[in-house]
Amino acid sequence: MSEAGTRQRALGTLGRVLIGRPLRTSEVEAEEITPVEGLSALSLDALTSVAYGPEAILVVLAGAGAGALHLVFPVTVAIVVLLAILVLSYRQVIDAYPSGGGAYAVARANLGTGVSLLAAAALIVDYTLTAAVSIAAGVGQVTSAFPALSSDALWLCLAMLALITLVNLRGLGDAARAFLLPTAIFIVGVLAVIVVGLIHPLARQVPQPGRVLLPTGTLEAVGVLLVLKAFAAGCSALTGVEAVANGVPLFREPRQRRAKRTETLLGVILGVMLLGLGVLTVRFHIQPRSGQTALSQIMGESVGRHWAFYVVSLATTAALALAANTSFGGLPVLASLLSRDHYLPHLFRLRGDRQTFSNGIVALAVFAAALLVAVDGDTQRLIPMFAIGVFTGFTVAQSGLVVHWWHERPAGWRRRAGINGLGAVVTAVSTVIFLVTKFSSGGWVVVVAVTVFVVMFHRIRTYYEGVADLLAFDEIPPPPAGRRTMVVVPVTNVSLLTRQALGEALSLSDDVTAVTVALDDGDEARDVQARWAAWDPGVPLRVLSTEYASVVDPIVAFIDEERAAHDAQVVVLIPCVVPARLRHRLLHNQIDVVLSSALRHRTDVIVARVRIDVDVRQVTSDTGRADDGARRRIPQAAAAPPSASSSEPGPSE
């Protein structure tokens, strides 16, 4: 034990350094998050959307010519109103469903299993997309600044993903604290830009790089459809609003109060940012430009293009990449809830040493990595799939709350139901607009993925129900009964390992048989037989011969014979060497590997291993050098004699 223990500790060190030592329940509080930390851990997705939300509105409106740009502000106001509805709604979700899960939990309680699974699938798809999109967007900003890196974009994305995954495996508290500084700079920076822009007497009129992207042809009439499209496009700024409600269990106690405070903080900051940027867009006559985001133009107009501009740009870039963390906060909790309800494999319920749902974190990392590889780290190919899932979740959560109010009818339930009903209608309309406008350019992938997930959930649940039936989980089974046991020990020599294996076999049963397989010319088997007779351990040795090359087949055949002859439980006890060094593993236990694999699915045989520690450093110190003259001889029992011509390795009886 000591030797293997030392090695295992050494092996574990890397994991410890990367992920940290295991945490006690009592220490978990340090990994649970406060409202401010909640902003960096769960809200970056929503907050950083100011980097692309206003832009999306501008681009749609610009399609109708410069005259339509004055609609930016009213559309922004409408979005902020929807934001307020969503924040109020999700604060109520936090109160009603404090286990997290957001839309899934709400729908499960109010709208039935089908809708809840639809919401869960939509959220899972969107979480994965969010992780991939934000990392790709963050890396995209870096490679725009340093074009030399652009050929390595995918590797940068995967490295970033690995970093975020590792930090999350350490615990969300660590992630939140690690991301606090860029989050703070980003929020303070953008707010400062807005304040400066508002109090400054006039725009700086700095020349903006890039060219204006306004159509030069005839202008469209500004219709209701255009405004709706602009509204739907701007709604991408709202993705991530649900993450706080989905991740309530991650907060420090009192959980609900802290989570609600985070939700409010998020709503206020995001609302102020959106409104402020909306006002400045109009004031500075911002127009879509090539290679320049609206945010970047506003920053340039308001503070000029010097160090402050670059610091905030950099913080925006970092915050964009770290927005992937929102997914790592939300998806593992959702997966654990689905797993608890038997819609996902139970392994998603297990917590890791750091009390995180490590399987969910790893699964998200794998999915996001696959997505990044599939699109080669290119954000543009992911954008059309984005937001459909989140808005499906919004719609489901709001509708669920309407039903909730209808059933509960607390004071003012009509007003609350009204707000949520309005929210449900608006988000439903947005979802439909997303689906219709984005379907052919990638939205169909989301539809397919959500369908696949929903079918999978149902199948997994049905399967678990079948297993519960088969194994009689809800009945009291008959009492267990012991049987006679016979132990089979495959041996290749007479040694201390063989002795230990026989000793342990004799501890389990009086009925022990050793078996050895005669291969090639059978010399080695004869040698084992002779030494066995000399030893006389009180256990019979059966020499098995075979027409096939495999060592395993004759042993399996012997076991089958014995099973047919006696009504006994068969235990196969395989002697194994545990070398002190990892690299020496390849040198041992080849029989164990093939025999265990052959018996892997046998339910009528118990396979067990007897292990012995071997540390050759105890007997030899010259492992590095060769010494032909005085080398120790490996005796016959171990293998064929080392003369080249005496034992020809051709097959024979």
Spatial distance between the Cα atoms of 215 and 635, rounded to a whole number of angstroms: 89
In angstroms, what is the minimal distance from the CB of 55 to a second copy? 37
In angstroms, what is the minimal distance from the CB of 485 to a second copy? 5
Which of the residues 335 through 374 are near a second copy (CB under 8 A)? Answer: 336-337, 340-342, 345-347, 349-355
Spatial distance between the Cα atoms of 294 and 52, rounded to a whole number of angstroms: 8
Q: Which of 439, 499, 542, 592 binds a second copy (CB under 8 A)?
A: 499
The answer to whether 637 contacts a second copy (rule: CB under 8 A) is: yes
Q: Which of 63, 271, 421, 537 binds a second copy (CB under 8 A)?
A: 537
Q: Is 359 helix (H, G, I), strand (E, B) or coil?
A: helix
Number of residues that bind a second copy (CB under 8 A): 159
Cβ nearer to a second copy, comparing 306 with 631: 631
Contact string 581-620 vs a second copy (x = CB under 8 A): ---x-xxx-x--xx------xxxx-xxxxxxxxxxx-xxx
Spatial distance between the Cα atoms of 86 and 423, rounded to a whole number of angstroms: 7
Contact string 137-156 vs a second copy (x = CB under 8 A): --------------------
List the alpha helices (DSSP H) in 97-179: 103-110, 113-145, 153-170, 172-178
Q: Which of 108, 229, 258, 289 binds a second copy (CB under 8 A)?
A: 108
In angstroms, what is the minimal distance from the CB of 427 to a second copy? 21
Q: Which of 131, 135, 502, 559 binds a second copy (CB under 8 A)?
A: 502
Cβ nearer to a second copy, comparing 147 with 649: 649
Cβ nearer to a second copy, comparing 188 with 616: 616
Which residues have C-beta within 8 Å of that of residue 570, sequence separation ≥ 6? 485, 486, 487, 488, 559, 562, 563, 604, 605, 606
Which of the residues 50 through 79 are near a second copy (CB under 8 A)? Answer: none
Cβ nearer to a second copy, comparing 305 with 461: 461
The answer to whether 249 contacts a second copy (rule: CB under 8 A) is: yes
Q: Which of 62, 93, 105, 273 binds a second copy (CB under 8 A)?
A: 105
Cβ nearer to a second copy, comparing 201 with 538: 538
Look-up of token digits 């050759």: 616
Which residues have C-beta within 8 Å of that of residue 36, sequence separation ≥ 6? 180, 265
Cβ nearer to a second copy, comparing 55 with 511: 511
Cβ nearer to a second copy, comparing 22 with 210: 22
Q: Which of 508, 543, 544, 556 binds a second copy (CB under 8 A)?
A: 508
Spatial distance between the Cα atoms of 357 and 568, rounded to a whole number of angstroms: 42
Selection from 195, 152, 190, 134 nearest residue 315 by Cα: 190
Contact string 191-230 vs a second copy (x = CB under 8 A): ----------------------------------------
Record the tokens describing residue 115, joined without a space.
Answer: 């809708």
Which residues have C-beta within 8 Å of that of residue 517, sequence separation ≥ 6? 490, 525, 543, 544, 545, 546, 551, 554, 555
Give the CA distances from residue 93 to residues 97, 112, 476, in Å, rounded to whole numbers and listed in that order: 6, 16, 40
Q: Which residues pair with 485 in a beta bridge?
A: 569
Which of the residues 414 through 473 are near a second copy (CB under 8 A)? Answer: 454-455, 458-473
The answer to whether 497 contacts a second copy (rule: CB under 8 A) is: yes
Binding window for a second copy (CB under 8 A); candidates: 137-145, 230-238, 397-405, 580-588: 580-588
Cβ–Cβ under 8 Å, residues 573 and 489 = yes
Q: Which residues pair with 212 in a beta bridge?
A: 289
- 3: exposed, middle or buried (C-beta count within 10 Å: 0-12, 13-18, 19+)? middle
Q: Which residues pair with 577 in a beta bridge?
A: 612
Q: Which of 506, 543, 544, 556 binds a second copy (CB under 8 A)?
A: 506
